[in-house]
C-alpha cells in the first residue's frame, strides 16, 4: 500500500480501488490488529447526514475481498472488521 500515491499492490501488480474502497482499506490497515466497527467505517467514508443504506459498508468490504483476496479482511459478526496481516 502506497499511502502517498494512494495505490495498492498485490503480488507486484497494481489493484484498482475506488476512493471509498481505498479509504476503508487505509483505515483498516492503520487499525491493524484492532476491530473497526461498521459505524466507524461508515462515518469515515460518508458524512453523517447522508441517507446511504446501512449495507453499503458490507458492499465495499465484499469488493475489497474480491480484489485483494477473501483472507485479507476478517469479520467479527455483529461487531465489525479487522486486518491482522
Q: Is the model's pLDDT at 67 over the cut of 90?
A: yes
pLDDT tens for each residue of 13-64: 999 999 999 999 999 999 999 999 998 999 898 876 666 657 889 999 999 9
Please tell me the pTM assigned to this model: 0.87
Residue that is written with C-alpha cell 497494481 in the block: 14
The pLDDT of residue 53 is 59
Residue 14 backbone phi and psi in degrees, to 5: -75, 135
Residue 80 backbone phi and psi in degrees, to 5: 155, -155
Is residue 42 in some structural domain? yes
Element (H, E) at 43: helix 38-45
Greater pLDDT, 52 or 80: 80
CA atoms 66, 40, 53, 14: torsion sign: negative
Is residue 35 in some structural domain? yes
Q: Which domain holds residue 27?
A: 8-82
State how beta strands 80-82 and 8-10 pair: unpaired
Number of domains in the chain: 1
**Domain of 78: which CATH number?**
1.10.10.10
Is residue 2 in some structural domain? no
Looking at the chain, how many residues does it have? 85
Amino acid at each position: 500500500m502506497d499511502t502517498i500515491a494512494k495505490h495498492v499492490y498485490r503480488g507486484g501488480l497494481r489493484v484498482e480501488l475506488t476512493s471509498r474502497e481505498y479509504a476503508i482499506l487505509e483505515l483498516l490497515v492503520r487499525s491493524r490488529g484492532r476491530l473497526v466497527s461498521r459505524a466507524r467505517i461508515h462515518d469515515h467514508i460518508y458524512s453523517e447526514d447522508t441517507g446511504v443504506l446501512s449495507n453499503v459498508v458490507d458492499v465495499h468490504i465484499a469488493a475489497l475481498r474480491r480484489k485483494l483476496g477473501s483472507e485479507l479482511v476478517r469479520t467479527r459478526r455483529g461487531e465489525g472488521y479487522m486486518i491482522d496481516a
